[in-house]
């Protein structure tokens, strides 16, 4: 079973574009779960251009499924996660001015740092995941950080798949199998969509969770949120 966690950053972006509280982020999160979504993901950034730090606190009592908070573990982010204690924290090495996440961790270079951060989260009962490129050496080193899971960065797959390259999934298949062998859980996210999610799911062993935001929200503009959530669930199961 692969869980669908919906990233609601784009809902916050739309809200912020006009000020006020339309669309209401909390209602959207409640509705997504009511439609069958199995998790809610947010990725607050230091400039709070979409999700605000206060949103992270406000969402806590309404997310009754899995609550996943993504971000670069700067001190402010670490304090936020420790205060909220979500189901999962996903560590992403994005620069402050990045439009979106565009690379995974160098798990060898940053191993000591990741070990320190991850151990603190795990002491507080928070499941940890780290965002990684689909490279076997990165997965192997990730094991030593103490993380519970990895999240495979899927932009390369999505771009190649859109051009008809089915073999683009092979590195993800191989890395997921290695992670399974090492006892690491496997998540995935970034540019997964209704067009590619079924193929990806079928070719990535032990896929526990996908986090999908931009594509899902965009598809919902045409097809409706409830319909799109259930289309993803159908493809995943």
Q: Name the catalytic one among 38, 141, 151, 190.
A: 190
3-class secondary structure, 131: strand
Place of tokens 């406000």: 58
CB 154 within 8 A of CB 190: yes
From CA 236, how far away is CA 40, in angstroms rounded?
Answer: 16
Catalytic residue among 70, 141, 151, 219: 70
The b-or-e profile of 51-69 (16+ CB within 10 A means b, else e) is bbbebbeebeeebebbbbb
Q: Is 40 helix (H, G, I), strand (E, B) or coil?
A: strand
> Active site includes 50?
no
190 carries an active-site annotation? yes
**64 annotated active-site:** no
Buried b (16+ CB within 10 A) or exposed e, 144-159: ebbbbbbbbbbbbbbe
Query: Of 43, 50, 66, 151, which is the active-site residue?
Result: 43
- Residues marked active site are found at 43, 70, 190
């Amino acid at each position: 079973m692969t869980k669908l966690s919906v990233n609601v950053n784009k809902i916050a972006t739309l809200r912020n574009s006009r000020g006020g509280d339309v669309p209401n982020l909390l209602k959207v999160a409640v509705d997504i779960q009511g439609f069958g979504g199995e998790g809610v993901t947010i990725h607050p950034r230091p400039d709070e251009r979409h999700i605000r730090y206060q949103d992270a606190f406000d969402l806590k009592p309404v997310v009754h499924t899995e609550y996943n908070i993504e971000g670069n573990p700067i001190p402010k982010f670490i304090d936020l996660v420790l205060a909220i204690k979500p189901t999962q924290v996903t560590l992403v090495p994005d620069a402050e001015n990045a439009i979106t996440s565009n690379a995974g961790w160098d798990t060898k270079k940053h191993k000591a740092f990741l070990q320190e951060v991850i151990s603190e989260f795990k002491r507080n009962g928070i499941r940890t995941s780290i965002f990684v490129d689909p490279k076997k050496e990165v997965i192997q080193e990730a094991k030593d950080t103490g993380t519970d899971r990895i999240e495979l960065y899927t932009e390369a797959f999505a771009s190649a798949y859109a051009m008809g390259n089915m073999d683009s999934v092979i590195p993800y298949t191989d890395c997921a199998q290695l992670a399974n062998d090492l006892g690491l859980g496997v998540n995935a996210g970034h540019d997964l969509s209704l067009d590619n999610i079924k193929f990806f799911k079928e070719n990535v062993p032990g896929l526990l969770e996908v986090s999908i935001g931009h594509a899902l929200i965009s598809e919902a503009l045409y097809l409706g949120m409830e319909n799109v959530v259930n289309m993803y669930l159908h493809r995943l199961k």
